[in-house]
Structure 1
Amino acid sequence: MASIVSTVARSGALHRKLMPTAAERFLWGQGDGSTMPAVPTEIGVLGAAICWENYMPLFRQSMYSKGVEIWCAPTVDDRDQWQATMRHVALEGRCFVISANQYLTRGDLPDDVHPVQGEAPETVLIDGGSTVISPLGEILAGPLRGGEGVLVAELDLGDLDRSKFDFDANGHYARPDVFSLNVDESPKHTVVRQA
């Protein structure tokens, strides 16, 4: 679950992951379209895609159509491929991307958990990779690996308009005469009772 708090909108918004990945399905169910907000904040319009939701092209297009300017992407994926994905999302959506990735060692886990990577407390299980990326896919900060830390980057919101000069997935480069996307944002219930 991702949470966005806005003093501009004087509200908050939640996003529940649409599709649990792999073993997550043992614990969590699917989200629905009712929790896919784009939230105006004092720093821009924020949206979130959790982990591998970032690989869902229709989800991304739905969020781009809401005018997301800052794309938040929490994940545990520390692979180099994830960095390429984040750069692609920034470039495709012409938005800033902030990806917060976990750093985790064996010593951070309870003793009754036995990871395949090894039992030594300093064994790295997830090597981070948090990053901040510009609307043209340039890395502004990170990726942060090898330990915990805080990334700082200055975001020039003027870059948003400048980046859309040659490509705008939801604007002048869209082809609504050829393509359409229908998004159901109504809440869904696991159990529906009928008389």
Structure 2
Amino acid sequence: MAMVASDNAPLLAEVDMGTDSSASTVRATVVQASTIFNDTPATLDKAERLLAEASGYGSQVVVFPEAFIGGYPRGTNFGVSIANRTAKGKEDFRKYHASAIDVPGPEVDRLAAMAGKYKVYLVMGVIERDGYTLYCTVLFFDSQGCFLGKHRKVVPTASERIIWGFGDGSTIPVFQTPIGKIGAAICWENKMPLLRTALYGKGIEIYCAPTADSRDVWQASMTHIALEGGCFVLSANQFCRRKDYPPPPEYVFSGIEEDLTPDSVVCAGGSVIISPSGTVLAGPNYEGEALISADLDLGEIAREKFAFDVVGHYSRPEVLSLVVRDHPATPVTYTSASVKTEGGLCITPVTIS
């Protein structure tokens, strides 16, 4: 094990590599680290340092946690109770909104440049700002520095629904790349059988699962998905202490603040890499910030699907089938009928349908 520096604190690099250097082997890293809350530029700087470290270990695909850019607002309630919102809660949301990023936007351009600079496929959890609605989103970049696309969390969990919108079927991509077919589901989306089936139907091979769930039972879900989908599962979670969030009264962990010290762990990580056979290749890590890496033998996918292919020979489409409505669901559609110029101005008639 090697120790590397990050934000003046040691970062554990947990590397469990195989010895097969064939073309069918992909070196993967999941990043377990905390956001610098309410400071998106500093978080981007931290992301680049971590990406550089992972690249130094030869990683070809790097997965960051849920909401790494923009932050996971653990413990806060944004001042909401039924039929009431406090002034402080509204201001908390304004700050959170300001820390989110536009897609596309300058932060996306920087992330693309990072992926190209370090020659890695990058899967990054962000808080996406679309007007005044926020989405928990995963962004995908290739090793040439191109932005491939995004996945928006289709169902925010519990009180996440106060602050995040719902994704739709138009952002459930699986990208064909030279290192395999890559896609993602975020946190408790991974418990949704039909969403998983939509990804399996697209042939996902490197299944990324950014999360905020550090419970032991999360490992059971990750193992099941690897076995069910016949795919490699790469799950990345933040490791956070109370001091990684702003101090009270600016930021309060509702109901437990009085029990916390600055060094109290509020998210213990548990990031892990699992093979299609259900074998844990690296992790889970509950010790601190870490780069957790393993070599993925892509030939294992075929070996395991020989016995069980959930959308192939083990399916019964005449009995059970899934329809995915993969078009954008928008509340307002504008259809431009014609464009004509009057008085030197460009007038575009629009029909609201």
Give TM class, smaller chain.
over 0.9
Structure 1 counterpart of 2:178, from 33, 42, 65: 42
Identity of aligned residues (%): 51
- Distance of 2:306 and 2:270 partners within structure 1: 30
From the two aligned structures, give the one with the greater strand fraction.
2
* Alignment RMSD: 1.5
1:81 aligns with 217
- Distance of 2:327 and 2:217 partners within structure 1: 33
1:137 aligns with 278
- Distance of 2:251 and 2:147 partners within structure 1: 39
Map Cα deviations across residues 100-147 of structure 1 (whole Å, 9 max, x no partner). 011110010101223216331110000000000000111000001120
2:206 aligns with 70
The answer as to whether partners of 1:50 and 1:74 remain within 8 angstroms in 2 is yes
How is 1:1-195 mapped onto 2 (pairs within 5 angstroms)? 1-7=137-143, 12-111=148-247, 112-115=250-253, 116=256, 118-191=259-332, 194=352
Map Cα deviations across residues 26-56 of structure 1 (whole Å, 9 max, x no partner). 1111000000000012321001000110010
Moved more, 153-162 or 19-28: 19-28
Q: What is the CA distance between 1:65 and its match in structure 2?
A: 0.5
SS in 1 for 2:290: coil
How many matched pairs?
A: 194
Q: Is there any run of 5+ residues in structure 2 with no aligned partner, and where?
A: 1-136, 335-351
2:72 aligns with none
Map Cα deviations across residues 122-176 of structure 1 (whole Å, 9 max, x no partner). 1000000000000011100000112000011010000000011110001111111
SS in 2 for 1:152: strand
TM value normalised by structure 2: 0.53
TM value normalised by structure 1: 0.95
SS in 2 for 1:64: helix
- Distance of 1:43 and 1:170 partners within structure 2: 21
Q: What is the CA distance between 1:192 and its match in structure 2?
A: 5.0
- Distance of 1:141 and 1:53 partners within structure 2: 23
Alignment-mate amino acid for residue 71 of structure 1: Y
Larger Rg: 2
SS in 2 for 1:23: helix
SS in 2 for 1:153: strand
The answer as to whether partners of 1:45 and 1:68 remain within 8 angstroms in 2 is yes
Q: What is the CA distance between 1:11 and its match in structure 2?
A: 5.1
The answer as to whether partners of 1:6 and 1:42 remain within 8 angstroms in 2 is no
- Distance of 1:11 and 1:103 partners within structure 2: 27
- Distance of 2:287 and 2:192 partners within structure 1: 29
Q: Is there any run of 5+ residues in structure 1 with no aligned partner, and where?
A: none
Instruction: Name the CA shift for 1:7/1:124 in 2 (closer, same or farther; >3 Å).
Output: closer
Alignment-mate amino acid for residue 57 of structure 1: P
Map Cα deviations across residues 45-87 of structure 1 (whole Å, 9 max, x no partner). 0010001100100000010010000000000100011000000
- Distance of 1:163 and 1:11 partners within structure 2: 31
